[in-house]
Amino acid sequence: MNINNPVYLFLLIMVSLLPFQGCSQDKKNTLMNSQDSLRNHDMNEWNKSIPGSFSTQSKSKFDSLEIGVFLSQYPKLKKYERNISTFYSRRNMAFAWFDKKGLIEHAANLTDRVRNLQYDGVNKELPYLQSLDSLIFENSLEKLPDSSMLKLELMLTAQYFAFADVVWEGMDASISRKVDWNLPRKRVSYEVFLDSILKTAPEQIKDLKRPVNRQYGLLRKFLQNYSELEQKGKWFEIKASVKSLRPGDSSDVIVYIKQRLNELGDLKIDDGLPLYDEYLKTAVSSFQLRHGLKDDGIIGKTTLAEMNVPFKQRIKQLIVNMERSRWVPASLSSEYLVVNIPEFKLHVNSGDKLLWSCNIVVGKPIHKTAVFSGELKYVVFSPYWNIPKSIVINEVLKDMRRDRNYLNKNNMEITGYRDGIPEIRQRPGPTNSLGLVKFLFPNNYNMYLHDTPAKSLFNEPSRAFSHGCMRVQEPFKLAQFLLKNDPFWDDEKINAAMNAGTERTVTLKEGVPVFIVYFTAFVDRDGKINFRKDIYERDERMAEMMLIN
């Protein structure tokens, strides 16, 4: 069953989904105190909550009018009235959280989850938790009267939808727009999802896919790890007395570096010795790759600065990016492109499979690349560059005043005038600023992917150099991918068109979705947490909106 029914499709760089885990076979007649339950189970067991949490019984039912009565007593849950009513109407008003033995076991798991939203990166509390606690306690003492049993039933269901709202859905769409997130938000029918759980055999529950992007669950795991590091209170600033440290060096500061890398998981064994050996070099290179740095194994100023980012700051970064991951639909089956701006990477995907990735150059902070989506429809070989008016005014006219031959030297020409400003374009050729090919997906931001003659910039670790468009390191390979289903366009013809010197536009038979995203924390395909610089300073603004200190 497709539970998402998205109007718009999107997926992040990491494309495969985490399946829901199956339910335990051990049944409980009554609900134990959820805090004790949390202490007595590891997080993996605790995370088995929610799926399979509903009774399959269908004989015990209640009148639909009782939902309105319940919500009049608990008005802060009224926003979930439609979800609750739809959910129970699908099961003919049968109880979901009780069977003939009493409360089913996973009611405890749900209670744990709603009580401990900090593990989901949520800095708020769901309404009426004290009422839930009282009903749970009353149930643990003796058989509930029918009125209290129904109240607990509806309270658990309402809490489920409240949990889905804040943990899986995230902040209101108006918030994402305020932080320049111009991608369409995901749409999920959570009551249909719950209904699908009820109709799934227990042994197949593990194959269900949760209604949140895979990255959310992965980031959640690292939020727990960094929270534990923060709680230990062992963070300290590492200070080096030399400019850099290399393999073979010996220094007391190496002891502290080894300790830090061991805590972060890059160094498996900390021998406590002050020697920079090959094991440490491997660990440093791993750390550098995870932080988007040149993986040369040399501990210089930049690498040490990343090692000195406090755990508390990383926790904030994880929470902010967990929120972003809530905004995107969980799956996509077609071929598509993803650009992650802070990562400076283009990822080419087909369904759950990452086909290949390459470096890109994105906009400078003063010329930010927008976060949005589109459909790639056109490949333009040997393109003209129609220079934007802003660049003409702010840059080209100044250069023309300094050098009367500037246009000829740069293979440019004036094609007309508008409001007294010349309209200038650069002719096709190897020196064209768009390179030999560009890839168009019509949008309101006038942004696209393109080749570039400035190849050396792709070797820089930080690649925010453009006016907003995205320069692609492997344009020929991207053209191959986009035209692979057209028998006319073999490698020879693609190469010839790129070097023809005459502009030629090819319309794709099928458009390819393109998603431009902004994630400063993500988990890669090797399961390693990655952090990137917040080049457009968007994380702090989001943290303020989420009330994260």
Q: Which of 106, 291, 450, 467 is flagged as catalytic?
A: 450
Using CB atoms within 10 Å of the CB of residue 541, give its burial: 0 to 12 exposed, 13 to 18 middle, 19+ buried.
middle
In single-letter form, the type of residue at position 164 comes to A
- Name the residue with tokens 């246009």: 407
End-to-end Cα separation, the chain, in angstroms: 41
358 is catalytic: no
The residues that bridge with 19 in the sheet, in sequence order, are 209
- The tally of CA atoms less than 13 A away on the side-chain side of residue 323 is 30
3-state SS class at 541: helix
Task: Using alpha carbons, list the distances in angstroms from residue 458 to 87, 134, 361, 450, 500.
Answer: 52, 60, 7, 13, 25
The residues that bridge with 450 in the sheet, in sequence order, are 438, 471
**Exposure string over 321-338, b if 16+ CB within 10 A, otherwise e:** bbbbbbbbbbbbeebbbb
Joined tokens for residue 129: 């938790």
3-state SS class at 245: strand
Task: From 164, 171, 77, select the one nearest 113 (Cα to Cα).
Answer: 164
Measured N-to-C along each axis, helices 146-163 and 106-115 cross at an angle, to the nearest 10 degrees, of 50
| Measured torsion, CA atoms of residues 407, 410, 411, 412, in degrees rounded to the nearest 10 | -40
Q: Which of 23, 106, 291, 469 is flagged as catalytic?
A: 469
d(CA 534, CA 365) in angstroms, rounded, equals: 10
3-state SS class at 273: coil
Task: From 524, 531, 530, 516, select the one nearest 354 (Cα to Cα).
Answer: 524
23 is catalytic: no
- Residue 524 · residue 15 · CB < 8 Å: no
Contacts of 146 (CB under 8 A, 6+ apart): none
CA 9 to chain CA mean position, Å: 14
Helix, strand, coil content of the chain in percent (nearest 5): 40, 15, 40
Joined tokens for residue 161: 């939808």
Active site residues: 450, 469
